[in-house]
Structure 1
Amino acid sequence: MKKEEVLEHLRAAKSAHIKWVQKAKLLINGVDIQESSIPVDSTECNFGKWFYSDGQVLNSLSNNPLECMQGIEKLHFELHDQYLKIFNIYFSNEKKTGFFAKLFGFTRKSISDAELQLSETYYKELEEISKKLLDEINRLERRLIAIPAEKIEQLV
């Protein structure tokens, strides 16, 4: 894979992360968001899918210490842990009947004003984690830009 393709994939993963965070905000703002469109599991979101596939190759770059990728992973886990708190406010795993209800597993529930305030607090914390994660992703991107194309092409 060429250097530009590696950078494109990283940028697409970063963009996917930003969209994921925006969907969490839409959920809190009352927009009817499907629970499946904001994956709780860090390996199920588009950023996580990139990170645990193409992204792992970047661990072997000499100017990209393992700590960078570990830092990204740690922040990504924290982000999803924080979102789980929001998810638990908005979605319920109540016993349901019917084909589609059983298929999707969760139902959107009505929330109180107190729950809305709590979810907004959780979202602010999620946003702070996201900013740190984006800083790390940007740092990774700068490191990739600084590496000669030949070196990247040897890895992937």
Structure 2
Amino acid sequence: MKKDETLKSLEIAAVELTRFVETAKSLIDGIDVEDKVLPTSPKETKFGEWFYGDGQKLKALSNNPLECMSNIKHLHEQLHEKYRIIFDLYFSEEKKGGFLSKIFKPKQKVLTESELQLAHKEYAAMQKTAEELLNEVARLERRLVAVSEEKINTLI
């Protein structure tokens, strides 16, 4: 594990998290999202792949408290839960579809006023969670910057 590569991975992870939140906003704004991001397990996203892979090695950093990693995990899961609620509001009919529904792009439904209010509420919660998550990632990044390259190389 190299320090510069790990820092770059953290940077990319933060961008992916932001992009994920923007996708939810696009749904709410009625913008047809080209690649509809289907809800996935937190482990199946680009951030999750990094966090549950190489990111776990950062638990061993002496200046990185264990609650940092557990906070990141918890917030990341919350972010996905909020997105799942929003996505299901717009594409709930897809869950009922059969084999062919997996082949064709899902169709976004028009929400009722109460569903739209719920979507806005969940999006606001999603934004707050994303902000907290990005703050934790930034703390992790600062801790990583403070550690020597040699210590990071021992985490391989």
Q: TM-score scaled by structure 1?
A: 0.89
Relative distance call for 1:38 and 1:98 in structure 2 (3 A) is closer
- Displacement of 1:67 after TM fit? 1.0
SS in 2 for 1:111: coil
Relative distance call for 1:35 and 1:95 in structure 2 (3 A) is farther
Alignment of 1:5-154 (within 5 A): 5-33=5-33, 36-92=36-92, 93-96=94-97, 99=100, 101-103=101-103, 107-154=107-154
Aligned equivalents of 2:102 and 2:135: distance in 1?
40
Identity %: 44
Determine if contact 1:42/1:76 at 8 Å carries over to the other structure. Answer: yes
RMSD: 2.0
Aligned equivalents of 2:26 and 2:146: distance in 1?
36
SS in 1 for 2:87: helix
SS in 1 for 2:5: helix
- Displacement of 1:107 after TM fit? 4.2
Q: State the aligned residue count.
A: 155
Aligned equivalents of 2:34 and 2:115: distance in 1?
19
Aligned equivalents of 2:53 and 2:95: distance in 1?
34
Aligned equivalents of 1:35 and 1:90: distance in 2?
14
Determine if contact 1:94/1:106 at 8 Å carries over to the other structure. Answer: no
Residues 85-127 of structure 1: CA distance to partner in whole angstroms, max 9, x if unpaired?
111211123544674x243695432211221121011100110
Relative distance call for 1:108 and 1:124 in structure 2 (3 A) is same
Name structure 2 gaps, 5 residues minimum: none
SS in 2 for 1:131: helix
Aligned equivalents of 2:80 and 2:133: distance in 1?
12
* Greater RCO (CA < 8 Å, at least 6 residues apart): 2
